[in-house]
């Protein structure tokens, strides 16, 4: 393969951080909802029953609690809303965290590349140079995103070049390679990079000639 743009380290770190935060929050919610809160409620119920059964509970409870591993001053029982909130939080954060983790693991295999015939991705998407009909650069300057349009089986399809998700330098090389197979009017949203180079070189020559 002539050029290969793999997932950028910055993007991978963001995915890892995202996955870590949401999975940690999911673990916390699961622990509270299934372990900590039920235990708090169990001890709180024991405490209330003990007070009813022992008139001297203020003196005897600390001894009883220490012998059974209970706190001397139990927490208040958690209500149904608090329990339900943990399950809701778990239901929200766990899928997001797992999705981010899956994206992180899959990221090691993801790439956009080019061989002598066209662009290709790890998912098997292929855009032959001869089939590319346009390049949209509306978001290239601000977000580093360019959309390649190509024909496949009589259907117009899209392939995205993104220099935030993928390594910047090879992604730029892919962009320039695509532009080299297109006419000026097929590139929209901005001019070709080669035209920018020519304009910059001309400006540099003019400045040099004036000094």
Residues 7-23: tens digit of each pLDDT: 999 999 999 999 999 99
- What 3-state class would DSSP assign to 72? coil
Is the model's pLDDT at 132 over the cut of 70? yes
> Domain-by-domain residue ranges, the chain?
8-107, 119-195
User: Mind listing the pLDDT tens digit for each residue in 61-118?
Assistant: 999 999 999 999 999 999 999 999 999 999 999 999 999 999 999 999 999 999 999 9
**Does 181 have pLDDT greater than 90?**
yes
How confident is the model at residue 6, as a pLDDT?
97
Report the percent of the chain where pLDDT is more than 70: 96
Q: Looking at the predicted structure, is the pLDDT value of residue 45 above 90? A: yes
CA–CA separation, 204 and 141 (whole Å):
22
Give the pLDDT score at 211: 64
> Mean pLDDT, the chain, as a whole number?
94
Give residue-wise pLDDT tens across range 91-102. Answer: 999 999 999 999
Write down the pLDDT at residue 52.
94
Q: Which long-range contacts (CB under 8 A, 24 or more apart) does 88-95 make?
A: 89/25, 89/26, 89/29, 90/26, 90/29, 90/30, 90/33, 93/22, 93/23, 93/25, 93/26, 93/29, 94/22, 94/23, 94/26, 94/30
Give the orientation angle of helix 37-53 with respect to helix 57-68, to 10 degrees. Answer: 140
Residue 169 has pLDDT above 90, yes or no: yes
> What predicted TM-score, i.e. pTM, was given to this entire model?
0.78
Residue 206's pLDDT is 72
């Amino acid at each position: 393969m002539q050029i290969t743009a793999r997932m950028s380290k910055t993007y991978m770190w963001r995915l890892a951080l995202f996955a870590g935060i949401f999975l940690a929050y999911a673990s916390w919610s699961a622990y509270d909802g299934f372990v900590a809160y039920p235990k708090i409620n169990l001890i709180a119920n024991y405490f209330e029953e003990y007070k009813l059964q022992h008139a001297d509970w203020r003196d005897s409870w600390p001894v009883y609690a220490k012998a059974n591993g209970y706190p001397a001053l139990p927490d208040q029982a958690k209500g149904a809303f608090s329990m339900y909130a943990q399950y809701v939080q778990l239901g929200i954060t766990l899928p997001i965290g797992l999705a981010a983790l899956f994206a992180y693991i899959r990221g090691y295999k993801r790439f956009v590349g080019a061989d002598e015939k066209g662009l290709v991705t790890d998912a098997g998407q292929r855009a032959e140079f001869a089939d590319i009909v346009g390049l949209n650069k509306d978001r290239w300057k601000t977000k580093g995103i360019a959309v390649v349009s190509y024909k496949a089986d009589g259907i117009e399809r899209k392939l995205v070049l993104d220099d935030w998700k993928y390594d910047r330098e090879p992604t730029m090389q892919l962009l320039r390679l695509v532009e080299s197979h297109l006419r000026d009017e097929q590139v929209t949203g901005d001019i070709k990079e080669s035209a920018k180079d020519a304009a910059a070189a001309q400006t540099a020559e003019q400045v040099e000639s004036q000094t």
